[in-house]
Amino acid sequence: MLATLKNAFKVEEIRGKIFFTLFMFLIFRIGAHIPAPGINPDVVAELLSQNIFGFIDVLSGGAFKNISIFAMGIMPYINASIIMNLLTIVVPYFERLAKEGPEGKRKMAQITRYGCIILGFVQALLMSFYLRNAMYDFNFFSVMIVTISLTAGTAILMWMGEMITEKGIGNGISLIIFAGIVSRIPSGITYIVNSLRSGEVNFFAVLLFLVIALVIIIGIIYINEGQRRIPVQYAKRVVGRKVYGGQSTNIPMKVNQAGVIPIIFAMSILMLPGLIASFFDGAVANAIARWFSTSHPVYMVVDTLLIIFFAYFYTAVTFSPVDVADNMKKNGGFIPGIRPGRPTAEYLDRILTRLTLAGAIFLAFIALLPNLMTAITGVNVSFGGTSLLIAVGVALDTMKQLESQLLMRNYQGFMK
């Protein structure tokens, strides 16, 4: 990885893209400390221990705790993108757009932007009402000012992400999330050092925490890169005097096909009961808020079941064994020992089901990781397993993109 970064800085074009990306990160960090008007951040800090707000604060790089204009982060854009992916399966119009090539992708990107603004406005409006006790003056004008400010912050982050994709090193939205997560590392280190000095934790517990974190990072890399390669053989075809096909290839089926999407879906759903209960008083509302706190056994069980369900659901949306089998049959391809058509689809479906189960269990373990590590080591940090999964995944993808760009510029060509 260090060699890749060193070689990337030697290429002027890639060096310029890296500096542009770092400049966007600087703007992001400055914006994370520009407060939204009319809100007391001290009151907001008390909410971070409830439901999913701590996770949102991590993704936004501390902007939620500061109630800055970037408090919502890029989550509305992620939700809009997920909805668009699901609509391409359900709605024929979006399915046609997805198959129209660059022009269709451009239209879908534009619709996603509009969806991001709409979702951002709704989310900001709900957040404004939820933070009504933190407002200096709660009225219609104050609510609209906060809502518009937060929505504008999300729009700016969306634009920054697209600029990083276009003029930076690519994968802009993911890098914005990555920057927000990584920015919390210094505060986590400071917390551990202060805990050591005050005697809250001992050196052995911190050492055990670091060892477990290292093992988990290795496990995340192993699972993210793990794949089952299905061999495919293409039959030879004679067209005129030319022979086509005859080559061997493979279908890479990843263990974690759904990525971090199932965790985000599950956490978004589990946030709603506690959020709705916060608007009411009484024993029932208090019980619901307690059950759906991140450390309660009910939350852990439901979270695990939802993650497994969404892992299968999103994998089924993004990978269709029937379509893959049909395309192979049309192009004269077959899996050795498996008949083309329906038997191939059933074979791929069996393998995908087993791989998805392993990936779903891994994601559930990562989601419950903060509670497990706190119970084992006694060290409580906000940098949880989901954040670690996102950060490692984005870092791996970014390194692959840099390596591919270096390979394009160092390729000698067939004349040399």
Q: What is the pLDDT of residue 152?
A: 92
- Dig out the tokens for 169 from the structure: 């090193």
What is the Cα–Cα distance from 123 to 147, expressed in whole angstroms? Answer: 8
Q: Name the pairing type of β-strands 237-239 and 333-334.
A: unpaired
Q: What is the pLDDT of residue 51?
A: 47
Q: What average pLDDT score do residues 289-315 get?
A: 82
Q: What is the pLDDT of residue 342?
A: 87
User: From edge to edge, which strands make up the β-sheet containing 333-334?
Assistant: 248-254, 227-234, 333-334
- Mean pLDDT (the chain) is 79
Calculate what percentage of the chain has a pLDDT beyond 70: 84
Interval 161-181: pLDDT, tens: 889 988 888 778 888 888 888
| Higher pLDDT, residue 371 or 67 | 67
| Higher pLDDT, residue 182 or 42 | 182
Any idea what the Cα angle at residue 74 is, between residues 116 and 262, rounded to 5°? 90
With a cut of 70, say whether residue 67 has pLDDT above it.
Answer: yes
Cβ within 8 Å of residue 171, ≥6 positions away: 164, 165, 394, 397, 398, 401
Q: What average pLDDT score do residues 359-363 get?
A: 88
With a cut of 50, say whether residue 220 has pLDDT above it.
Answer: yes
What is the Cα–Cα distance from 380 to 339, expressed in whole angstroms? Answer: 54
**Cβ atoms of 376 and 208 closer than 8 Å:** yes
Interval 256-277: pLDDT, tens: 888 777 877 777 777 777 667 7
pLDDT band with cut points at 50, 70 and 90 for residue 52: low
What is the Cα–Cα distance from 373 to 354, expressed in whole angstroms? Answer: 28
Any idea what the Cα angle at residue 318 is, between residues 55 and 347, rounded to 5°? 125
Any idea what the Cα angle at residue 317 is, between residues 313 and 319, rounded to 5°? 110
What is the DSSP annotation of 163-214? HHHHHSSS-HHHHHHHHHHHTTHHHHHHHHHHHHHHTSS-HHHHHHHHHHHH
What is the Cα–Cα distance from 177 to 392, expressed in whole angstroms? Answer: 12
What is the Cα–Cα distance from 181 to 367, expressed in whole angstroms? Answer: 15
pLDDT band with cut points at 50, 70 and 90 for residue 377: low
pLDDT band with cut points at 50, 70 and 90 for residue 383: low
Q: What single DSSP character describes residue 71?
A: T
Q: What is the pLDDT of residue 121?
A: 92
Least confident among 29-33, 96-100, 145-149, 312-316: 96-100
Q: What average pLDDT score do residues 268-293 get?
A: 73
Q: What is the pLDDT of residue 155?
A: 92
Q: What is the pLDDT of residue 409?
A: 67
